[in-house]
Amino acid sequence: MSSGCCGPAAPAEQSAQAVPVQISPAAGSEQVVLSPELDHLPVVVIGAGPVGLAAAAHLATRGLDFLILEAGSRAGASIAQWGHVRTFSPWKYDIDAAARRLLETTGWTAPDPDWLPTGAELVEQYLTPLAAHPAIAAHLRLNAQVTGISRAGFDRVRTTGRDAAPFLIRLADGTEIAARAIVDASGTWRTPNVLGANGLPAHGETDAVTFVDHALPDVLGTDRGHYAGKHTLVVGAGHSAATTLLALAALADEAPDTRITWAIRAGNATRTYGGGAADALPARGALGTRLRALVETGRINLLTAFFTHALTVGGDTVTVISRDPSGAEQKVVADRIVAATGYRPDHAIASELRLDLDAILGSTRALAPLIDPNHHSCGTVPAHGAGELAHPEPGYYAVGVKSYGRAPTFLMATGYEQVRSVVAALAGDWEAARQVQLELPETGVCSSSLAEAQEVRVGLATGISGGLLATPLPLAPVGASAESGGGCCG
């Protein structure tokens, strides 16, 4: 249903299959019954991105009272910031089933199922009408930034009577809201990873902040002036980096003095290039194919084994120094830096809740082995739901890209199934909560028919061997990016 690193499900005639999976709830979670004393309170959903609004649609469908708190001024506020980017997956995979049913009651007509929407189209044609639906609009509060979550009258240490106490949610304006349960779909867009290769900020990174943009700047649009005729260093090996690199290459065709350097920690870019023509998502495969051609022809200068260690500002340029584990150094002098290094979750707002977080990824410990990027790609993550997302704090669930912690293997389709399961659990329907189904793509099983059809619609790529989509229409994942920007490939 979404692209992310690995996109939507493969078509039915291919090898990816929807397989029902029995999940085992985290220890004790199947027995969790929210206190009846809290039934008069709403379920609070944090975030009005695709996964948050999908949660609202499922809550509305089940007749559960809810409130959505969105920090931005509109639904899909984070997506609007990369509205210029075209997604890998077509519309037919980008719409949650419960949300679709709600929208269709208003006479809404789904967009062309085979079209690859931009972020702006996702917001305008799907999220905006969904947020305006009568079953949701009255429950949506905008400009409501959550700064903390606790239990009313209880800090993290106190136990006796804790489960019967409502959640207390504090907003930036000082407002406090009581809730019976929380579905945290706040994403990770506001907390990008640092440039430093060891997870700590590089030396001088704070001083160089005015030279650094994070993933998916509008290189060919509103941000054009920052990049035209300049030397840009793009750091990162995911699809967000690839998207920006292709846009910069298109800009270089129009502004010949534009130079592009791409830095990755790996010894080669094979992982970024992906499956090419054999990719389950042809548009994503085309991205890697075009990027490889740009590197091989010298239009993009690729630096491998690049471990960002220090940044030094000198007038109108910034010098970036790499120091690998052996002590060997590389140096790049650039006008701009794009840090496409992914995102990380911020659990600070829930620091007074009892969370069971994996020490490595920052997901729940039950979920971590299922999504570990050392062993899984997006397409091999098993289906999972409320059981794996449960914490020792009954009634609190982090969903969507935030649930994956630092794992870059998230897909929007996964988020939709997460919230279906979580809402079923909140409704006391554990049979439905345990039955999770998910279709995921596999590299090497799809034809290029979708990309060929899209090529006819948006125009042929020019001057790039193997390109399938028009150069002015960069591609990016709809996984974490849809609600936060990082995702599998950010």
Would you state the structure tokens that stand for residue 251, as one six-digit string?
A: 């800009």
Q: What is the pLDDT confidence band of residue 116, given thresholds at 50, 70 and 90? A: confident
- Please give the single-letter amino acid code of residue 31: Q
- Would the pLDDT of 349 be above 80? yes
Question: Per-residue b/e over 406-419, b at no fewer than 16 CB within 10 Å?
Answer: bbbbbbbbbbbbbb
The per-residue pLDDT for 4 is: 38
Dihedral angle at the C-alpha atoms of 295, 301, 305, 307, nearest 10 degrees? -130
Positive/negative CA dihedral, 473, 477, 478, 480: negative
Instruction: Please tell me the distance from the alpha carbon of residue 168 to that of residue 171, in angstroms, as a whole number.
Output: 10
User: What are the φ/ψ torsions at residue 333 (nearest 5 degrees)?
Assistant: -105, 120
Task: Return the minimum-mean-pLDDT range out of 18-32, 132-146, 417-431.
Answer: 18-32
Burial class for 232, CB neighbours closer than 10 Å (0-12, 13-18, 19+): buried
Instruction: Please tell me the distance from the alpha carbon of residue 240 to that of residue 433, in angstroms, as a whole number.
Output: 33
Task: Return the minimum-mean-pLDDT range out of 4-13, 17-26, 345-354.
Answer: 4-13
Q: What is the pLDDT confidence band of residue 134, given thresholds at 50, 70 and 90? A: very high
The per-residue pLDDT for 481 is: 37
| Whole-structure pTM value | 0.81
Instruction: Please tell me the distance from the alpha carbon of residue 390 to that of residue 355, in angstroms, as a whole number.
Output: 9
- Would the pLDDT of 141 be above 80? yes
3-state helix, strand, coil in the chain (%, to 5): 30, 20, 50
Positive/negative CA dihedral, 256, 120, 279, 460: negative
User: What are the φ/ψ torsions at residue 277 (nearest 5 degrees)?
Assistant: -65, -20
Instruction: Please tell me the distance from the alpha carbon of residue 403 to that of residue 390, in angstroms, as a whole number.
Output: 10
Instruction: Please tell me the distance from the alpha carbon of residue 118 to that of residue 88, in angstroms, as a whole number.
Output: 9
Instruction: Please tell me the distance from the alpha carbon of residue 392 to that of residue 152, in angstroms, as a whole number.
Output: 17
- Would the pLDDT of 185 be above 80? yes
Express each pLDDT in 42-74 by its tens digit: 999 999 999 999 999 999 999 999 999 999 999
Q: What DSSP string describes 374-414?
A: TT--GGGPPP--HHHH--SSTTEEE-GGGGGTT-S---HHH
Q: What is the pLDDT confidence band of residue 440, given thresholds at 50, 70 and 90? A: low
Candidates 71, 65, 243; CA nearest to 146 is: 71
Burial class for 472, CB neighbours closer than 10 Å (0-12, 13-18, 19+): middle
Candidates 472, 467, 441; CA nearest to 455 is: 467
- Would the pLDDT of 313 be above 80? yes
Higher pLDDT, 88 or 137: 137
How does DSSP classify residue 63?
T
**Percentage of the chain with pLDDT > 70?**
80
Query: How many residues can be counted in the chain?
Result: 490
- Would the pLDDT of 472 be above 70? no
* DSSP-assigned beta bridge partners for residue 381: none
Task: Return the minimum-mean-pLDDT range out of 20-29, 214-223, 369-378.
Answer: 20-29
Give the mean pLDDT of 393-400: 96
3-state class (DSSP) for residue 1: coil
Task: Return the minimum-mean-pLDDT range out of 235-239, 275-279, 291-295.
Answer: 275-279
- Would the pLDDT of 387 be above 90? yes
Instruction: Please tell me the distance from the alpha carbon of residue 305 to that of residue 235, in angstroms, as a whole number.
Output: 12
Walk me through the domains of the chain, giving residue ranges and CATH numbers.
21-190+344-454 (3.50.50.60), 209-341 (3.50.50.60)
User: What are the φ/ψ torsions at residue 418 (nearest 5 degrees)?
Assistant: -55, -50
- Would the pLDDT of 31 be above 90? no
- Would the pLDDT of 392 be above 70? yes
Instruction: Please tell me the distance from the alpha carbon of residue 93 to that of residue 96, in angstroms, as a whole number.
Output: 8
Give, to the nearest 10 degrees, the angle between helix 97-104 and helix 412-426: 80
